[in-house]
Structure 1
Amino acid sequence: MTISSANELGAARSGAMTREERKVIFASSFGALMEWYDFYIYAALAVYFGAFFFPAGNETAAFLASLATFGAGFLVRPVGALLFGRLGDRIGRKYTFLVTILLMGISTVGVGLLPTYEQIGMAATVLLVLLRLLQGLALGGEVGGAVTYVAEHSPASRRGLYTSSLQTTATVGLLLSLLVVYLLKSMMTEEEFRAWGWRIPFLVSFLMLVVSVYIRTKLHESPVFLAMKERKTTAQSPILESFTRWKNLKNVLLLLVVAAGLGAIFGTGHFYTMFFVNRTLHVPLEVVHLYVGAALVIATPCYVFFGWLSDRIGRKRIILLACLLAALTTQPIFKGLTEAANPALARFQETGGVVLRAGDCHVNLFAAPATECDRIKGYLTDLGVAYTHVEESGAAATLAIGTQSLAGFDRDGIRRALVAAAWPERADPDAINRPLLFLFILLPILCLTMVYGPMAAFMVELFPARIRYTSLSLPFHLGSGWVGGMLSFVVSAMNVSAGNMYYGLWYPVVITAAAFVIGVLFVPETRGRDLRL
């Protein structure tokens, strides 16, 4: 026996992490970090992309369109899950997620090189959407491959701990994207950043791509997959086996529900909080990124803690407790954000002094507003102003603000009337309750660490080895990707329609409450299951 082999055997017997396990975790985590960074850098710059890649004339519609494009990357993730899941169960885990990282890196660099709408018109919008779809396709294959690969290298007693390192990469990727944007904006003027500086965060991912590909080429195939291949028991049709046999399909549906709860918490804590504090509460974006970044730093070790804890008390109870907490606290947290970040706006909203009377009203998400009512609704929402809409069929749009009444859409008149009625144009830096603001930003992220830390081990343990990659990838991306990725868009659109900046938050509340109830009744505990079966 060589010295290296003896050391590995000694480490395994003592319970310490072996060198091979460390290499697997580092290589998988670094690659996953790079993919999440690539995916989230768009989120960090979403407030700019409405102006860069969509028609001018309706700021709210352009912003919603930029959110929808961000969400499009999540929507295509299930396709990537099926495509790469099938390959991973047929030809192996290692080579499949080597392809996914190449696809993600090339797509991200492409966004950094993309001409804007002003330069090539609608072609810029189309190309942006296509590149986002390629990113989503890659991420759809990456997550299932990475968690399966790491879990199949992990001892049963530390599976939650080892796979939780992968779960930190989503948060660290977002943190890294925010940090890069923050540093760039601090080193150049706003005009320089808008002109060319926004491209740099996308282009630097090329260096990360080179490192990630090099590291992953040095990995060995999963021992579970190699054993199946040697016994000739790999699945011939993973998709059919996964989704046409009730014994497995039942677990697919349960994971879909749990993943939807995860997606609701994920989209709320990682994305919508930033949009809400910046756009609705009028806190400068740099300040928002700073607070969110600090919260992410504090929360990141919690992923590992809850993964470790799940090895001791089980995955189910931690995940479902997070869903329950999210359902109970989302509405109070966002109302608390308003009180902490912009108390003057909170007081103004309580007066309920803005009333819109009009008939022909509808929300235009990807085009210029069609009616006066549409223009008023979009403008009020863009300003973060709640309003009451009184439906009056055939009536011309009139807007009552305090004691003033305005006919039709008058941008300057609306702003002057709002200011006269004590509406704050921006958050007063001296009035911000900074400790409370930070706390309310941190709490949803802590909920996310509870549900996401044990999630990788839970998903892997739920399915048999021969169809594991395919079975867990599709429901995870349908649930977390579709719900989480589109959450900011759906919540914002619901707010515009209702004229209430908290109304859309019932969307994640209902989803997390449903995940808790269904999970308590039907989801099994998976801790300690044999992954070779």
Structure 2
Amino acid sequence: MSSASPFAGAAAGPRPLTARDYKTLALSALGGTLEFYDFVIYVFFAAVIGGLFFPADMPDWLRQLQTFGIFAAGYLARPVGGIVIAHFGDLLGRKRMFSLSIFLMAVPTLVIGLLPTYAAIGVAAPLLLLAMRVLQGAAIGGEMPGAWVFIGEHVPAQRYGLGVGTLTAGITGGILLGSLVAVAINTHYAPAEVSDFAWRIPFILGGVFGLVSVYLRRFLHETPVFQELAQRRSVAAELPLKTIVRDHRAPVLYVALLTWVLSAAIVVVVLYTPTYLQKVHHVPAAVALEANALATFMLTLGCVLVGWACDRFGTRPTMLVGWAGLFITAYLFYTGLPGTTASLFWHYGLVGLFVGTIATVPIASVRAFPAPVRFSGLSFAYNMAYAIFGGLTPVILTLWLQRDLMAPAHYVGALAVLGFVLAWLPLAVRGQPMQAATMRG
């Protein structure tokens, strides 16, 4: 396909968003929210799960290590699941794999909510839990790249940024939903009730709603880009991953580096910081979690604003402003700790808004690969990088904090600088109307 736009044929010529576009975007975003909720809800109940799925006489540190090890297994399974699902997405169609990924997430989530504990079936309990987390990891590895490609190939070219940004907001909204559900469960039930039965509720709800989302995705249509490729018989003729490794190394490296920036913003600012606030600055747990919920909400809003800005002002200017803003607000937030409750909420919310710049990552990354191998290229680069950098980030920070309490600020700041530099490279605007270069394929 040779055009200034990588989605010519999907959205040729200016046109407004139609009712069908809105339905596609809504169903995709809803599915992304529920799927990411299913993936992260585990971490909010890790302490309870550790007490139920491992021997009671096991040392607490070892129990927690194994519990989080099972959580980490989901990340390690992402590349495998992403590559396999993306392979068939490039060969058989985006829609089929898009629906399969959420099915593979919903069923294990429901099963976790129904699993017998260690007291009932012994060592089989943690082994089954591990198996379910591996399936969840495989599913999320296919969901996020698949969702970005699906929406990117559906929406009009002039609404491409808003479409991908809104979908990313829906995905990050799954973190917020998980946080709110965990707060509600722990507020409504006593600790003994949570350990007895209430911990199962979020998993069962996630599984049921996920299956509903699978049904709703039946009403989505295959992307116009894949339909055109199929009609022209331009679907990947060989193993898509082989083509990626041989012909598209530069986009793979570019997307991997962008993913490193994304993982730093999400893992450090959103997932790691609540514990950092409590352990290092002695912020009460309730206050830290409430501030984190605000930051996550602002992140979700930021993704939509960033997508709109990419359409209005261009991807490169948006990336430059966004990553520079993240650099400034990260230092403003971490240097101001612990501060007052008001300053904590204000600064955390502000840095959360600029974390929304992560929406530029899929906006630039989807365009980096030609359509016949787009799903596989994005999935391979994104999932491999996230498995490496997302997994190493907490380890790096834990060691760095022994020497410097400002380690989170320095890490996020350094990666924001990397994002700023990456914005100047040609791949940042590949496929945009103002870009002269065309795509191979």
TM-score (norm 1): 0.72
For residue 244 of structure 1, give the secondary structure of its aligned residue in structure 2: helix
Q: Distance in 2 between matches of 1:59 and 1:439?
A: 36
Q: How does 1:72-471 map to 2 (within 5 A)?
A: 72-117=73-118, 119-236=120-237, 237-245=239-247, 248-327=248-327, 330=330, 333-337=333-337, 339-340=338-339, 433-452=340-359, 454-471=360-377
Q: Distance in 2 between matches of 1:118 and 1:281?
A: 38
For residue 429 of structure 2, give the secondary structure of its aligned residue in structure 1: coil
Q: Distance in 2 between matches of 1:144 and 1:273?
A: 26
Instruction: Determine if contact 1:152/1:222 at 8 Å carries over to the other structure.
Output: yes
Deviation at 1:286, TM superposition (A): 3.9
Instruction: Determine if contact 2:106/2:208 at 8 Å carries over to the other structure.
Output: no
**Selected match of 1:525 from 407, 429, 438:** 429
Deviations 1:80-122 (A, max 9, x none): 1210111000000001111111110011112222334455454
Deviation at 1:294, TM superposition (A): 2.8
Instruction: Determine if contact 2:50/2:64 at 8 Å carries over to the other structure.
Output: yes
**Is structure 2 residue 365 aligned with structure 1 residue 474?**
no
Instruction: Determine if contact 2:17/2:159 at 8 Å carries over to the other structure.
Output: no
Deviations 1:172-224 (A, max 9, x none): 11111111111122211122112221111011113212321111111111111
Deviations 1:130-152 (A, max 9, x none): 22221110011111211111111
Deviation at 1:507, TM superposition (A): 4.8
Q: Distance in 1 between matches of 2:389 and 2:31?
A: 24
**Is structure 2 residue 37 aligned with structure 1 residue 37?**
yes
Amino acid at match of 1:491: L
Deviation at 1:504, TM superposition (A): 6.7
Instruction: Determine if contact 1:111/1:128 at 8 Å carries over to the other structure.
Output: yes
The change in CA–CA distance for 1:500 and 1:459 in structure 2 (over 3 A counts) is closer
Deviation at 1:475, TM superposition (A): 1.1
The change in CA–CA distance for 1:121 and 1:333 in structure 2 (over 3 A counts) is farther
Instruction: Determine if contact 1:160/1:456 at 8 Å carries over to the other structure.
Output: no
Q: Distance in 2 between matches of 1:168 and 1:511?
A: 21
Amino acid at match of 2:356: T
The change in CA–CA distance for 1:142 and 1:15 in structure 2 (over 3 A counts) is same
Instruction: Determine if contact 1:157/1:528 at 8 Å carries over to the other structure.
Output: no
Deviations 1:226-278 (A, max 9, x none): 11111111002211111111xx2111111100111111111112200122234
For residue 34 of structure 2, give the secondary structure of its aligned residue in structure 1: helix
The change in CA–CA distance for 1:486 and 1:174 in structure 2 (over 3 A counts) is farther
Greater Cα shift, 443-452 or 304-313: 443-452
The change in CA–CA distance for 1:81 and 1:195 in structure 2 (over 3 A counts) is same
Q: Distance in 1 between matches of 2:422 and 2:381?
A: 15
**Selected match of 1:492 from 398, 401, 411:** 398
For residue 234 of structure 2, give the secondary structure of its aligned residue in structure 1: coil
Greater Cα shift, 301-310 or 114-123: 114-123
The change in CA–CA distance for 1:30 and 1:532 in structure 2 (over 3 A counts) is farther
Greater Cα shift, 61-70 or 148-157: 61-70
Q: Distance in 1 between matches of 2:331 and 2:123?
A: 38
Amino acid at match of 1:458: A
> 1:387 aligns to what?
none
Deviation at 1:295, TM superposition (A): 2.9
For residue 235 of structure 1, give the secondary structure of its aligned residue in structure 2: coil
The change in CA–CA distance for 1:468 and 1:14 in structure 2 (over 3 A counts) is closer
Amino acid at match of 2:25: I
Amino acid at match of 1:85: A
Amino acid at match of 1:240: K
The change in CA–CA distance for 1:531 and 1:135 in structure 2 (over 3 A counts) is farther
Deviation at 1:332, TM superposition (A): 5.8
Q: Distance in 1 between matches of 2:62 and 2:84?
A: 33
Q: Distance in 2 between matches of 1:216 and 1:103?
A: 14
Amino acid at match of 2:380: L
Aligned residues: 424
Q: Distance in 2 between matches of 1:443 and 1:492?
A: 25
TM-score (norm 2): 0.86
Bigger Cα Rg: 1
The change in CA–CA distance for 1:293 and 1:224 in structure 2 (over 3 A counts) is same
Deviation at 1:446, TM superposition (A): 1.8
Q: Distance in 1 between matches of 2:417 and 2:121?
A: 45
Deviation at 1:125, TM superposition (A): 3.1
Q: Distance in 1 between matches of 2:156 and 2:128?
A: 44
Q: Distance in 2 between matches of 1:321 and 1:128?
A: 43
The change in CA–CA distance for 1:526 and 1:311 in structure 2 (over 3 A counts) is farther
Deviation at 1:323, TM superposition (A): 4.0
Amino acid at match of 2:145: G
Over aligned residues, Cα RMSD in angstroms? 2.9
The change in CA–CA distance for 1:295 and 1:87 in structure 2 (over 3 A counts) is same
Deviations 1:391-413 (A, max 9, x none): xxxxxxxxxxxxxxxxxxxxxxx
Q: Distance in 2 between matches of 1:526 and 1:502?
A: 36
> 1:9 aligns to what?
none
Amino acid at match of 2:142: G
Greater Cα shift, 283-292 or 168-177: 283-292
For residue 199 of structure 2, give the secondary structure of its aligned residue in structure 1: helix
Amino acid at match of 1:435: A
